[in-house]
A and B are shown apart, each in its own frame.
Chain A
């Protein structure tokens, strides 16, 4: 009875804390500007099924994709077991889903194999990260915390799976010894390998079984509450993020309707622009509220895998720009603003901005807008859109473009070509 009460308290606390943090994340995402991504629902569902559920883009790199698939499948399917653990915990029952009979055995056998898959996958991932020296796991933005975050996730998953298997092994042994509480249920193809390592005394077995059970469930609930602080949040946000993907061709950049109205008014004095209420405070983006909610959702979805940076032509050739850093900076600044709001009730000017305080001019001007980062991202993040918005701010609000870019703008304005040639010479090529 006491343990049921403790369990209920822990569960309620974990779920309460998690919802609190989820609300903060939603509030932070809503700091962004509106953008309509509600069109073409069928295409959007398809995109989500292929990219999120089907991990389509992961398979550009088959080896990590396979390992990731093991962990992903294990994680998703073993969570069905959570249902049983929660019921058992609340009502003091044991293996309540055993009423499913033969299907339960099948289910448990599958869980065990998947748990092994997760274990192996995470171990190889740990080795790749810490011993393999893969280039994309290093870089300027991969400071102490992002690296630790990655290792914490992997180690936690290994511990959780180990606890799950130890729990099953002891349970199995207790079942075989005929303990009345431990009803004969389940099939244990993997954990039975551990049986020879276990003690014989049923008291100690029960102690190990209970410890493993508690460790597993408390671990899972702790992990759940770690998500909001971690890059691991992608396991949830990948679904909305891929659903709201950009569906237009990658080469197509957003049209700024606010500019369209002004240009129309310039070209046609009789054109009456719609009321100014809809105009954004700024052209382009200087800080978080100037970006769209989709940009911000992407920053929370980023799992810092570095595929974007590893294919970025600027980064490959040693420039400062790293698309991953653009996303990490956006998240860091957004969370900073979120904390500011938590402390002050509303945002109080802190003298910082996404542009300059986090992302430098040198970074945004090194981009070739080639879309390699967008193509590479396994969860359909678009770092290029943020870079473009920052450029728009620098150019249209501050007139702070590199001098040669300004010269190019001047040429287009004056001669209709990015170079200093007269428009009247445009068809001279016919004559040579």
Chain B
């Protein structure tokens, strides 16, 4: 972003990468695929780079409102400093926090999740799913991230991107507004689960497996981690892939 400003340019959109997208090796691949899609369709985007900081989501869900608001206000200062109007996020948690919780602290932006952006690009005819891997007829089941689906009512955008690939979309028993959490939300990602008889991600993977998928599609880097752990726990890594909607889109468009 700083480089763009130095050159006197303004981006069409700011890509909010998020902590997972920045540091988690698996999520970094999703980050790069989102960038490839943005370049492919010719959207001029910027990132904050080292000026980006945690949105404060896990702090807020963990009950630390002080830390959340410190993070939020610092981020708002940076975003407003660059006069950012529109933001795309790779993570439903960043999406929810910036979109819903920053306005009360003075940060007003148009925020969309990357699955919504991809769906818009498909609708506009800018992404045609040509020149890459074919997903036609392949069994894909989509896992609703809580903070995208139930939290913000985004159920259709990710599904429409999969349908546009002629994939065979199979739904889990608990889907859409009834979707089962992967187990990572509410700061659970950063702690061991309480005592119980099962891990939540295992429960979810068993449900996903019941649809006999080739691919489990995700839209959240934390879900990605949990779902992959579940697949590993069931020793199904050879048969089932866990892929983000952005990765599937990039592959279908031959963006390597």
Chain A residues near B (Cβ < 8 Å) = 60, 248-253, 255-256, 259-260, 262-264, 266-267, 283-284, 311, 313-314, 316-321, 362, 365-372, 375, 388, 390-396, 401-402, 404-405, 407-409, 412-413, 416-419, 421, 423-429, 432
Q: What 8 pairs between A and B have smallest CB-CB spacing? A: A251-B151, A391-B63, A369-B186, A416-B53, A318-B197, A318-B196, A370-B181, A252-B100
CB distance from B252 to the nearest CB of A (A): 22
With A and B bound together, what is the CA distance between A253 and B185 in angstroms? Answer: 13
B151 touches A371 (CB 8 A): yes
With A and B bound together, what is the CA distance between A256 and B72 in angstroms? Answer: 13
The contact of A426 among B52, B61, B62, B183, by CB within 8 Å, is B52
B198 touches A388 (CB 8 A): no
Given A250-B150, A370-B150, A409-B62: A318 and B67 within 8 A (CB)? no
With a CB–CB cut-off of 8 A, which chain A residues contact B203?
A: 313, 316-317
With A and B bound together, what is the CA distance between A311 and B196 in angstroms? Answer: 16
A372 touches B180 (CB 8 A): yes
A319 touches B190 (CB 8 A): no
A427 touches B50 (CB 8 A): yes
Given A264-B73, A375-B177, A391-B62: A367 and B186 within 8 A (CB)? yes
Given A402-B191, A417-B54: A392 and B65 within 8 A (CB)? yes
Interface residues of B in 133-182 (CB under 8 A from A): 146-147, 150-153, 174, 177-181
B181 touches A368 (CB 8 A): yes
Interface segment, B19-27, B115-123, B229-237?
B19-27
B180 touches A314 (CB 8 A): no
Given A252-B100, A370-B150, A416-B54: A317 and B66 within 8 A (CB)? no
A405 touches B69 (CB 8 A): no
Chain A, residue nearest B19 (CB): A417
B185 touches A370 (CB 8 A): yes
Given A251-B147, A317-B200, A371-B146: A412 and B181 within 8 A (CB)? no
Seed contacts A401-B63, A409-B67; 12 additional CB < 8 Å A-B pairs: A249-B152, A250-B150, A253-B61, A260-B104, A313-B204, A317-B198, A370-B181, A370-B185, A421-B23, A426-B49, A427-B49, A432-B28
B150 touches A375 (CB 8 A): yes
With a CB–CB cut-off of 8 A, which chain A residues contact B31?
A: 429
With a CB–CB cut-off of 8 A, which chain B residues contact A425?
A: 22-23
Query: Does B59 have its Cβ within 8 Å of any Cβ on chain A?
Result: yes
The contact of B194 among A252, A263, A366, by CB within 8 Å, is A366
A-B contact pairs, 23 of them (CB 8 A): A249-B100, A252-B100, A313-B203, A317-B183, A317-B203, A320-B195, A321-B194, A362-B195, A366-B194, A369-B146, A369-B187, A372-B178, A372-B180, A372-B181, A391-B62, A391-B63, A395-B64, A396-B66, A404-B192, A405-B62, A413-B70, A421-B22, A424-B50
With a CB–CB cut-off of 8 A, which chain B residues contact A249?
A: 96, 100, 151-153
**0 or 1 for each of B69-86: is its CB under 8 Å from A? (1 = yes):** 111011000000000000
B67 touches A314 (CB 8 A): no
With a CB–CB cut-off of 8 A, which chain A residues contact B36?
A: none
With A and B bound together, what is the CA distance between A317 and B193 in angstroms? Answer: 10
Query: Does B101 have its Cβ within 8 Å of any Cβ on chain A?
Result: yes
Query: Does B32 have its Cβ within 8 Å of any Cβ on chain A?
Result: yes
A250 touches B62 (CB 8 A): no
A407 touches B183 (CB 8 A): no
Query: Does B213 have its Cβ within 8 Å of any Cβ on chain A?
Result: no
With a CB–CB cut-off of 8 A, which chain A residues contact B65?
A: 256, 259, 283, 392, 396
With a CB–CB cut-off of 8 A, which chain B residues contact A390?
A: 63
CB distance from B159 to the nearest CB of A (A): 18
Given A368-B181, A370-B186, A416-B71: A408 and B62 within 8 A (CB)? yes
With A and B bound together, what is the CA distance between A365 and B61 in angstroms? Answer: 10
Chain A, residue nearest B148 (CB): A251
With a CB–CB cut-off of 8 A, which chain B residues contact A396?
A: 63-66
CB distance from B142 to the nearest CB of A (A): 16
Chain A, residue nearest B97 (CB): A251
With a CB–CB cut-off of 8 A, which chain A residues contact B60?
A: 253
With a CB–CB cut-off of 8 A, which chain B residues contact A317?
A: 183, 193, 196-200, 202-203
A60 touches B178 (CB 8 A): yes
CB distance from A368 to the nearest CB of B (A): 4
Given A255-B104, A267-B73, A396-B66: A412 and B150 within 8 A (CB)? no
With a CB–CB cut-off of 8 A, which chain A residues contact B174?
A: 311
B69 touches A417 (CB 8 A): no
With A and B bound together, what is the CA distance between A228 and B151 in angstroms? Answer: 34
Query: Does B58 have its Cβ within 8 Å of any Cβ on chain A?
Result: yes
B63 touches A284 (CB 8 A): yes
With A and B bound together, what is the CA distance between A372 and B100 in angstroms? Answer: 19
Query: Does B184 have its Cβ within 8 Å of any Cβ on chain A?
Result: yes
With a CB–CB cut-off of 8 A, which chain A residues contact B47?
A: 427
CB distance from B73 to the nearest CB of A (A): 6
With a CB–CB cut-off of 8 A, which chain A residues contact B153?
A: 249
Chain B, residue nearest A256 (CB): B65
With a CB–CB cut-off of 8 A, which chain B residues contact A375?
A: 150, 177-178
Interface residues of B in 213-242 (CB under 8 A from A): none
Query: Does B6 have its Cβ within 8 Å of any Cβ on chain A?
Result: no
Query: Does B105 have its Cβ within 8 Å of any Cβ on chain A?
Result: yes
A369 touches B185 (CB 8 A): yes
With A and B bound together, what is the CA distance between A355 and B104 in angstroms? Answer: 28
Chain A, residue nearest B145 (CB): A370
Interface centre among A249, A266, A284, A404 (most CB of B within 10 A): A249
Interface centre among B47, B104, B105, B194 (most CB of A within 10 A): B194
With a CB–CB cut-off of 8 A, which chain B residues contact A394?
A: 63
With A and B bound together, what is the CA distance between A432 and B21 in angstroms? Answer: 13
With A and B bound together, what is the CA distance between A391 and B67 in angstroms? Answer: 14
Chain B, residue nearest A255 (CB): B104
With A and B bound together, what is the CA distance between A427 and B28 in angstroms? Answer: 10
A368 touches B146 (CB 8 A): yes
Given A255-B101, A429-B28: A407 and B190 within 8 A (CB)? yes
